[in-house]
């Protein structure tokens, strides 16, 4: 059986397009094998659930999991993985930006046993604001320098996995979940399939620039402590510089007897050091905050209803 997990947050406009398009390609991909479609309603405020229920009347393989409020896509993905029963599981957005036409190829790769996972990445970012693309590219370069596992530039959450891999992902019980990193971290043989970016079929993206920025910082903090080390090293460098400069001033005062002037340079140095200290405290704070959230051991989502 193949489980199709679809996180939905205010996707009432997209869902009616999504289902027929999915079915068109699903039959081709899995033949007469069984399937289940799990719509994870992430606290939608529009008619998403109504639209899903309409589909459910026609197709008994649909299951709708409703959260008690909006918990975010990461939580929706986790809930989907936990609720899924299939031998294979695929994650898919509701807006048709993850082309169902790729399903057959993905399914064949994993079914053959050669791979445990078939992932996808976009080679183009057509239809996206250039500034967003620029920062996205910079993010992938940076995070791949910092973390041990590789995250493919443009990789989507659209991926088909074997049950083994899904169980491994579920076994990571962390509260701060950066799925892109988790998929790479659990390992397994992954085949990446490329495709051209597709624009959203209906509705609007749920990601503002700042939300993405925060997501990028979360991704780095969740997967590496490199920033802490950078803070330590920059502290060492600045201290070393300060020490050498102090020697220079003392020696100069003793030999030439230069009266101490330099109020402006003093202010500049105080500002510089103050700034560096605040940044470092901020970095430490990021990790402390994450640790705080982890220690609370709160559930990652709360289910209101399963239909
Ligand atoms: N989504 C979700 N919870 C959220 C935000 C988004 O479940 O809080 C879902 C959304 O319904 C969609 C998928 O995650 O199916 C991707 O969201 P979106 O298309 O807005 O992101 P983009 O494709 O622009 O990166
Ligand atoms: Mg989208």
Which DSSP string corresponds to 101-154?
A: GGHHHHHHHHHTTS-SEEEEEES--TTS-HHHHHHHHHHHHHHHHHSSS---TT
Give the residue from 239, 247, 290, 304 showing the smallest Cα distance to 44. 304
Cα torsion 156, 162, 165, 169 to 10°: value is 60
pLDDT tens for each residue of 194-204? 988 888 888 78
* 157 Cβ below 6 A of ligand 1: no
pLDDT at 267 (0 to 100): 84
* 8 Cβ below 6 A of ligand 1: yes
Interval 274-297 mean pLDDT: 91
Ligand 1: residue whose CA is nearest its atom 13: 93
Residues with C-beta atoms within 5 A of ion ligand 2: 93, 95, 97
CA angle 58, 73, 223 (to 5 degrees): 145
Residue 241 phi, psi dihedral angles, 5° rounding: -60, -45
Q: Which tokens go with 113? A: 């046993």
pLDDT tens for each residue of 207-221? 888 888 888 899 999
Helix (H, G, I), strand (E, B) or coil at 83: helix
Domain 2-203: what homologous superfamily?
Spore Coat Polysaccharide Biosynthesis Protein SpsA; Chain A (3.90.550.10)
Whether the pLDDT of residue 235 is over 70: the answer is yes
Identify the weakest region by mean pLDDT among 4-18, 99-113, 116-130: 116-130
Whether the pLDDT of residue 39 is over 90: the answer is yes
Whether the pLDDT of residue 261 is over 80: the answer is no
Q: Which tokens go with 48? A: 């998403």
Confidence band of 11 (pLDDT split at 50, 70, 90): very high
Interval 265-274 mean pLDDT: 83
Q: Tell me the CA distances in angstroms from 182 to 58, 71, 120, 166, 189, one per residue in order.
A: 35, 18, 15, 11, 14
Give the residue from 166, 165, 155 showing the smallest Cα distance to 120. 155
Identify the weakest region by mean pLDDT among 87-96, 247-256, 286-295: 247-256
Give the pTM.
0.85
Whether the pLDDT of residue 259 is over 80: the answer is no
Q: Tell me the CA distances in angstroms from 25 to 3, 18, 29, 62, 113, one per residue in order.
A: 14, 11, 6, 16, 21
Give the residue from 202, 165, 140 showing the smallest Cα distance to 89. 165
Pairing of β 190-195 and β 117-122: parallel
Closest ligand 1 atom, CA of 40? 7
């Amino acid at each position: 059986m193949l489980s199709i997990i679809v996180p939905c947050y205010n996707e009432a406009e997209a869902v009616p397009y999504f289902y027929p398009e999915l079915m068109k390609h699903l039959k081709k991909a899995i033949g007469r094998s069984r399937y289940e479609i799990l719509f994870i309603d992430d606290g939608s405020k529009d008619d998403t659930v109504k639209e899903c229920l309409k589909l459910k009347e026609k197709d008994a393989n649909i299951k709708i999991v409703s959260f008690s409020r909006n918990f975010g896509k990461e939580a929706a993905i986790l809930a989907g993985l936990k609720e899924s029963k299939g031998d294979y599981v695929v994650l898919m957005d509701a807006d048709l930006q993850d082309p169902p036409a790729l399903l057959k190829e993905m399914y064949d790769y994993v079914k053959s046993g050669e791979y445990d996972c078939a992932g996808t990445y976009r080679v183009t970012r057509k239809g996206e604001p250039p500034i967003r693309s620029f920062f996205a590219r910079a993010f992938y370069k940076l995070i791949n320098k910092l973390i041990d596992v590789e995250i493919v530039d443009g990789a989507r959450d659209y991926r088909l996995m074997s049950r083994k891999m899904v169980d491994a992902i579920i076994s990571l019980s962390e509260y701060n979940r950066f799925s892109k990193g988790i998929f790479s971290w659990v390992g397994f043989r992954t085949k990446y399939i490329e495709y051209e970016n597709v624009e959203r079929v209906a509705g609007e993206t749920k990601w503002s620039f700042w939300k993405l920025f925060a997501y990028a910082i979360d991704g780095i903090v969740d997967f590496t402590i490199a920033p802490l080390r950078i803070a330590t090293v920059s502290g060492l460098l600045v201290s070393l510089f300060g020490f050498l400069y102090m020697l220079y001033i003392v020696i100069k005062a003793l030999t030439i007897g230069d009266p101490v002037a330099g109020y402006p340079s003093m202010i500049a140095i105080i500002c510089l050091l103050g700034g560096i200290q605040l940044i470092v405290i901020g970095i430490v704070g990021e990790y402390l905050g994450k640790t705080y959230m982890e220690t609370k051991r709160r559930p990652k989502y709360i289910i209101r209803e399963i239909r």
